[in-house]
Amino acid sequence: MKILVVGGTGYIGSVCAELLLDEGHSVSIFDNLSEGHRAAIDSRAEFFEGDLQDRQSIEKALARQKPDAVMHFAANALVGESMQNPSKYFRNNIANGLNLLDAMLGAGVGKIVFSSTCAIFGPPERVPIDETTPKQPINPYGESKLGFEKILRWYDEIHGLRFIALRYFNAAGASTKFGEDHSVETHLIPNVLKVALGEKPAVEIFGTDYETPDGTCIRDYIHIIDLARAHILALTSNKSDFYNLGTGGGASVREVIDSCRKITGRKIDIVEKPRRPGDPPRLIASSEKIKRELGWKPQFQSLDAIIESAWKWHQKFPRGYGD
């Protein structure tokens, strides 16, 4: 298939492009490089530098490649920033996404795989979180993703645009080529590994008095390779649908830090801080639906395997992509 990966120079998009190419697909990448990296572009892919707010630039990319489907990763994704600047999140994650959908209709491209988030659910009423869990986002980031999911449903009903929306929390790990390098790093595992690399003095733990076995928050970590394989499987679906993605397990903040200490063999100091507002004690996703309907089988179920792959990449690229 010919696939246009929108936001393909970022963490998840770059690994998805790599796996698509490994499987023999023809891949083009569209990105404005505001959050991604030129060094994260697979040399086998064609690259279009452009911005979704410029409708003509995405129309040109679609006309040039004539893809069979689009994978859409281009979004702002910092929860804290969305609480300070909601306009940025609604403009980029919804309005610019509409430019993509309308350009796809104009080009006759009838399928999209959308990178959504479990942040659409807010603090869940129960765990693990399945697709029937009530959706009550508590920040503009989650609200913007939920809004775009609703738009996708209407574009399917009115225009016949097929979609798969994949919702996940904590992508982690790395491929041999591409890994996690954000300009503002909020994710736990890379921040812990930065301490192991000597780039930070200590890792902060926000809240040690939660109702969990060790008092720290529990989150569901999914290997970036397994995540990418789910996106590729989504291309085979002939219907529109929503799927949650996770390992079905979960690891606490302290367990992540302990695993990083074991994998790296290095001292990792911690600083305990008060809870952050809005942090639920447990966030664990159920993936039973995508396993049952699309045959998804995650290969990296252990936290150690996820962290080991991330550590190898960070050792190889201690300052990330360097751009």
* d(C-alpha 78, C-alpha 210), whole Å: 23
* d(C-alpha 29, C-alpha 16), whole Å: 11
Locus of tokens 């996703």: 285
Question: Residue 39, exposed/middle/buried by CB under 10 A (0-12, 13-18, 19+)?
Answer: middle
Extract the residue ranges of the chain whose pLDDT is less than 50. none
* d(C-alpha 228, C-alpha 44), whole Å: 17
So what's the pLDDT on residue 140? 95
Is residue 141 annotated as part of the catalytic site, yes or no? yes
Phi, psi of 273 (to 5 degrees): -130, 165
Whether pTM > 0.85 for this model: the answer is yes
CA distances from 33 to 128, 189, 322 (A): 35, 23, 14
The single residue of 141, 155, 168, 221 carrying the catalytic annotation is: 141
Q: Is residue 288 helix, strand or coil?
A: helix
So what's the pLDDT on residue 323? 65
